[in-house]
């Protein structure tokens, strides 16, 4: 409803040709500034006041578009009483900072926000770029494949966190499927059989 009111106010302010161009521009700026300042309102009382003011202004604009001189004069009086900062063009929003820039702005030491263990390794550090080693100490062993939930993969240490997370997700998915199958077999299937038996009796 707030977005619909916002669009209606802007639309009617453009359609109010009985007002001066500067007045219409001031109305549009005031609408944008007020809606931006009230975007995070959580108070019911203040929200009710803001909605009441918005719909009252919309009624005045509707009357102005319809050619009501009294409404036009009332709008001009209200715009004259409106503070200059409210009638000024909205200030552009500051560009959103990245998480790293926010941490730097707060002055957090770099050691507290190092690279995430789930982040992809940089080029040259990936397993496929490092293995097989060109030179090793001792006897070269055959790579071992392990199977987790029917998915074979190459086991190496230390195991990356993203691989551990993937295995946990696959195990959890398999367990949920098994639990669902047990519920079907132990509860819903017997219940369906009893319903069929009851239908035959009836």
Residue by residue, what is the 3-state secondary structure of 177-193? HHHHHHHHHHHHHHHHH
Rounded mean pLDDT, 25-45: 85
Domain holding 62, by residue range, is 2-87
Overall domain count for the chain: 2
CA distance 107 to 100: 11
Please state, rounded to an integer, the average pLDDT across all residues of the chain.
80
Residue with more model confidence, 21 or 102 = 21
* Mean pLDDT score, 43-65: 86
Residues 82, 12 share a domain:
yes
Within a domain: residue 70?
A: yes
Q: Tell me, what's the pLDDT at 179?
A: 92
Question: In DSSP terms, which residues pair with 151 in a beta bridge?
Answer: 148
């Amino acid at each position: 409803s707030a977005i619909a009111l916002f669009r209606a106010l802007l639309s009617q302010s453009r359609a109010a040709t009985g007002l001066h161009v500067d007045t219409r521009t001031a109305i549009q700026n005031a609408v944008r500034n007020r809606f931006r300042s009230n975007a995070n309102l959580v108070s019911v009382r203040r929200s009710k006041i803001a909605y009441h003011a918005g719909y009252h202004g919309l009624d005045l604009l509707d009357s102005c578009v319809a050619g009501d001189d009294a409404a036009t004069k009332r709008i001009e009086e209200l715009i004259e009483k409106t503070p200059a900062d409210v009638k000024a063009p909205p200030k552009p929003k500051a560009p959103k900072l990245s998480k790293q820039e926010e941490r730097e702005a707060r002055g957090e030491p770099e050691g507290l926000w190092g690279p995430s263990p789930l982040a992809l390794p940089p080029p040259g550090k990936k397993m496929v770029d490092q293995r097989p080693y060109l030179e090793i100490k001792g006897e070269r062993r055959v790579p071992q494949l392990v199977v987790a939930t029917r998915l074979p993969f190459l086991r190496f240490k230390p195991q990356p966190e993203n691989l551990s997370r993937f295995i946990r997700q696959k195990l959890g998915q398999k367990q949920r499927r098994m639990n669902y199958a047990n519920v079907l077999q132990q509860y819903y299937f017997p219940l369906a059989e009893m319903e069929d038996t009851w239908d035959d009796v009836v």
